[in-house]
Amino acid sequence: MANTSLAIGLRTLFTVLGLVMLAIVLYTVFTDGLPFRKELLTPWMAATLVDFYINVVALGVWIAYKESNLISSILWIVLLVCLGSITTSAYIVVQFLKLSSQESSQDPLYYVLLRHPNKNGTAQRTQHSCVVTLRILFGILGVVMLGTLVYTLVTDGSPFRIELLTPWLTATLVDFYFNVLALAVWVAYKESSWISAVFWIILLICFGSITTCFYIAWQLFQISCQDPAYLVLVHHGDRAENKYKGIAGEAT
């Protein structure tokens, strides 16, 4: 019952977030015009966009793994790049809607995060592990964001200035933190204690994609280079795949 309530709660939460973000974008377009204007691209707006899109890369990698069809994968990722957390929320809601009542009552986040044979008729892809590639990717992205943050601080000063808070920067920050919330749900699910979960979520809020990249890279270093990279999505106790194999056995 608790897991079913969690599934309903998260589905409702991301439905509301998607609708709120859509309303904010429409309101900002009507009151401040389109965002494609040179004067809007201040140094801190540029840094925020870099921060935003590095998180989009993390979410995009998950979507690419989840989708069995290349066309649907590309479509969702294009929507993610163009619409940000509106797409994030929509995609998560769709994944929750695909859950059966049994899956919702067992461990809804496990089934939402992983790609299962009882969903698309294909087994988990364990060959050609890309763990090393992902370690390098997120390591580089973390360094890029850290460099961007330091450079912008040195050249443009503190971001905590009221004149920087233009309507589109405000909308971008809301968009950014809605994606951070999605990542925070994953972090809370993964961590074994509330103390460590709260610690990582605070770092996510304060340092954005720097924390995202460091956390993902750190999780990737917890598994071997031969392991499938999707194991970083789940609890340490689920990494032996006993749970997954049991489900696969039932499906066959």
- Average pLDDT by stretches of 10, the chain with 252 residues: 91 98 98 93 97 98 95 97 98 96 93 72 53 96 98 96 94 98 97 94 97 97 92 74 44 33
Cut 0.75: pTM above it: yes
Q: Based on the number of CB atoms within 10 Å of its own CB, is 100 exposed (0-12), middle (13-18) or buried (19 or more)?
A: exposed
| Predicted local confidence at residue 2, as pLDDT | 84
Nearest to 110 by CA among 122, 121, 124: 124
pLDDT given for residue 125 in this prediction: 47
Contact 230, 115 (CB under 8 A): yes
The one-letter amino acid code at 138 reads: F
Residue 112: alpha-carbon gap to chain centroid: 13
Question: What b/e readout covers 143-177, taking b as 16+ CB neighbours within 10 angstroms?
Answer: eebeebbeebeeeeeeeeeeebebbbbebbebbbb
Q: What's the confidence (pLDDT) of residue 49?
A: 97
